[in-house]
Amino acid sequence: MATAKDYGLGPFIFPRGWFMVATSAQIGQKPHCVRFFGRDMVIYRGESGKAYMVGAYCPHMRTHIGKSTTSFMTQRGEQIEGESIHCPYHAWRFGPDGKCNKIPYSETIPPAAELGAYPVVEKYGALFYWNDPEGGAPDYDLPEIPEWDDPHYVQWEIDELGAMNLHQIEVTDNICDTQHLGPIHATTKQFYFENIICGHRVTQLLGGKHEILGHDVPISEFITYYTGPGILLSRFIGDNSNDSIMFIAHTPVDDGSVRVWHAVLGKIAERKPTGQDIVQARALQKLSLDAFAQDFEIWSNKEPCLKVMQMPADGNFLKVRTWYKQFYVPRADVAGVLARCEGRYTIPGMAGAEEGHARQRALEAIEA
């Protein structure tokens, strides 16, 4: 298992950015246990319905507050009180800020009695957390998906692929890896391929023929982009009646392991989706999941690739990996990293996306 240091990413162990930590459906008024960024944490909903994420270990006797199913407190459903959560061992109570606000048998609360708090934002059927080794506020927003509230789209149900012992930089490599598209995903011919690196975003513009989508489709076009190091959206450009947006999120578990999710937001027709439309949308997501699972299987069974033995037509791994380093260095050093990688990159012998609406829409998205 290779670490951030092995890849030479920078002084930080974990990257700065927005990361998914759970699906909305997983979180209720019982603790949901997670481990990310080398920390064990617990997510729960208060009685208001708002979700909170706090540290997992009670400072009293280092009990994991989310892993008791047999205590009478948890059996009676009393662990959540208002917006607070109790440790099931001695019933110490902690607020959403992670600080102890009640000890049933003591009027005195030690100042150090806290779990730690990790604020989350709930959006698109998921919970997201801003991780920053420097402790700063977010310097970019979560990606906007205006189609999420469009009544013509079927909202996704997120697939969890699980965790793998691979550093997430190798998942990010896919944004520039043009030559895996044929062997893995049956892209029989690529008409154009281009990467654009700009700030915290890296974009892939792709146009080609895809065997799975059928030979009667003249060209399939995709605008795929990372917003930061852990959230990817890929927009399929159809005929305005079958547009779709694929969502992929991956979050470090420990230094050298990562958890991965997938989903698809599908537009079925110019009407409010019917029951049959929803079935078709789920089938579309399953087709996309099957394709993504092809990548996941490869990643799960490879050794770390600390340096790509790159061919000119592979795609610009060096520039993308340089772009990725900006999230592992102090903010003061980001401009220097970007100076080494920002730009537009094509594949030798293959057209870039000089013409057509794909490039224009990508440029508009970057400028937004």
> What are 296-305's pLDDT values in tens digits?
999 999 999 9
For residue 243, the model assigns a pLDDT of: 81
Domain span at residue 39 reads 17-131
Asked if residue 4 is part of any domain, the answer here is: no
- Name, of 102-116, 215-229, 256-270, the range with top average pLDDT: 102-116
- Distances in whole angstroms, Cα of residue 174 to Cα of each of 181, 292, 295: 9, 11, 9
**What pLDDT sits at residue 106?**
97
163 and 280 assigned to the same domain: yes
Mean pLDDT within 18-35: 97
127 plus 217 within the same structural domain: no
Question: What mean pLDDT, rounded, does the chain reach?
Answer: 91
The pLDDT, as a whole number, for residue 214 is 56
The Cα–Cα gap between 144 and 347 comes to 29
pLDDT of residue 356 exceeding 80: no
The Cα–Cα gap between 310 and 307 comes to 8
CATH number of the domain at 108, please: 2.102.10.10
Q: What is the pLDDT of residues 298-326, one digit of tens each?
A: 999 999 999 999 999 999 999 999 999 99
Q: For position 366, what pLDDT does the model report?
A: 46
Segment 119-178, tens digit of pLDDT: 999 999 999 999 999 999 999 999 999 999 998 899 999 999 999 999 999 999 999 999
* Domain final residue, candidates 101, 131, 161: 131
- Does 106 share its domain with 158? no
- 241 domain-assigned: yes
Contacts of 249 (CB under 8 A, 6+ apart): 19, 20, 126, 230, 231, 232, 260, 261
The confidence band for 182, taking pLDDT boundaries of 50, 70 and 90, is confident
Half-sphere exposure of 302 (CA within 13 A, CB side): 13
Whether residue 178 sits in one domain with residue 110: no
Shared domain for 113 and 220, answered yes or no, is no
pLDDT at residue 199 greater than cutoff 60: yes
Residues 235-261 pLDDT 10s: 987 655 568 899 999 999 999 999 999
- Quick check: helix, strand or coil at residue 298? helix
What pLDDT, on a 0 to 100 scale, did the predictor assign at position 349? 84
Can you say whether the dihedral through the CA atoms of 289, 129, 152, 25 is positive or negative? positive
215: pLDDT strictly greater than 80: no
Pick from 106, 131, 156: which residue ends a domain?
A: 131
pLDDT, position 221: 84
Q: How far apart are CA 137 and CA 17, in angstroms?
A: 10
Say whether both 349 and 302 belong to one domain.
Answer: yes
**pTM of the model as a whole:** 0.93
- Does residue 345 sit in the same domain as residue 227? yes
- Domain with residue 271: its CATH number is 3.90.380.10
The answer to the question of residue 335 being in a domain is yes
Q: Are residues 164 and 38 in the same domain?
A: no
Residue 26: which pLDDT band, with cuts at 50, 70 and 90? very high
Tell whether 214 and 108 lie within a shared domain. Answer: no
The answer on 123 and 152 residing in a single domain is: no
pLDDT of residue 58: 98
pLDDT tens-digit map of 43-73: 999 999 999 999 999 999 999 999 999 999 9
CA 207 vs CA 3, 177, 345, 353: distances in Å: 34, 14, 15, 8
Looking at the structure, tell me whether residues 287 and 154 fall in a common domain: yes
DSSP class of 40: E
pLDDT at 350: 81
- 1 occurs within a structural domain: no
Q: Which of 131, 155, 176 is the last residue of a domain?
A: 131
State the pLDDT confidence band at 364, using cuts at 50, 70 and 90.
low
pLDDT of residue 175: 97
- The count of structural domains within the chain is 2
- Mean pLDDT of the region 192-217: 82
221 found inside a domain: yes
167 in the same domain as 255: yes
Asked whether residue 288 is assigned to any structural domain, the reply reads yes
Render pLDDT for 78-88 as a digit per residue (tens, 0 to 9): 999 999 999 99
Report the phi/psi class of residue 256: left, alpha or beta, with left for phi > 0 and alpha for psi in -120 to 50: left
53's enclosing H/E stretch is strand 51-55
CB atoms within 10 A of CB 322: 17
